[in-house]
Amino acid sequence: MPELLAFADRPRSMAEMRAWVEERLGVEKAEGGWWGLKAYAPLRHAPSGPPWSFGARSSFVAAGTGPGPTGRAADPEALRTLILRYLAGFGPASVADVAQFAMVHRAPVRESPGSPRRPSPS
């Protein structure tokens, strides 16, 4: 897996990823190997155009394993709206799920009025 993550340290096209798999598994096993990597390897789709634009040609990059994004703080009202829409679209989720989706730390998600919470014991 470290070799794959090193290869995918920058966005790679589907053709590049398939060629990488083919070099390791051979032509006859490449399709199944690529399917497995897409399903289970720590890869994510990378924008292929302007910010958050995903074109017809897929691009993949290794998922970050470091700390969450830094920079400006999440606007509480915007985060609340995002959480409510996430839950409406995807159903029940943990704080960790929503934080990963929203690309924010868990604390702001936990503190948000729309935060997914466990029901309190009765």
For 62, phi then psi, to 5°, come to -65, 135
The pLDDT tens digits for 31-82 are 888 888 878 888 887 776 665 556 667 788 888 744 445 566 778 888 999 9
Helices in 1-122 by DSSP H: which ranges?
A: 2-7, 14-25, 27-40, 76-90, 95-102, 106-111
pLDDT-based confidence at residue 84 (cuts at 50, 70, 90):
very high
State the Cα–Cα distance between residues 46 and 17, nearest whole angstrom: 13
The crossing angle, in degrees rounded to 10, of helices 27-40 and 14-25 is 120
Q: What's the mean pLDDT in 87-106?
A: 88
Q: Token match 């985060």: residue?
A: 79
pLDDT-based confidence at residue 120 (cuts at 50, 70, 90):
very low
Domains defined along the chain, listed by start: 2-62 (1.10.10), 67-122 (1.10.10)
Q: In sequence order, which residues have a C-beta less than 8 Å from that of residue 83 and are 6 or more positions away?
A: 98, 102, 109, 112, 114, 115, 116
The pLDDT tens digits for 15-40 are 898 999 999 999 888 888 888 887 88
Q: Is the pLDDT of residue 2 over 90?
A: no
Q: Is the pLDDT of residue 85 over 80?
A: yes
**Predicted TM-score of the model (pTM):** 0.49
Is residue 37 within 8 Å of 19, Cβ to Cβ? no
Q: Across the beta sheet with 59-62, what order do the strands follow?
A: 12-13, 59-62, 43-45
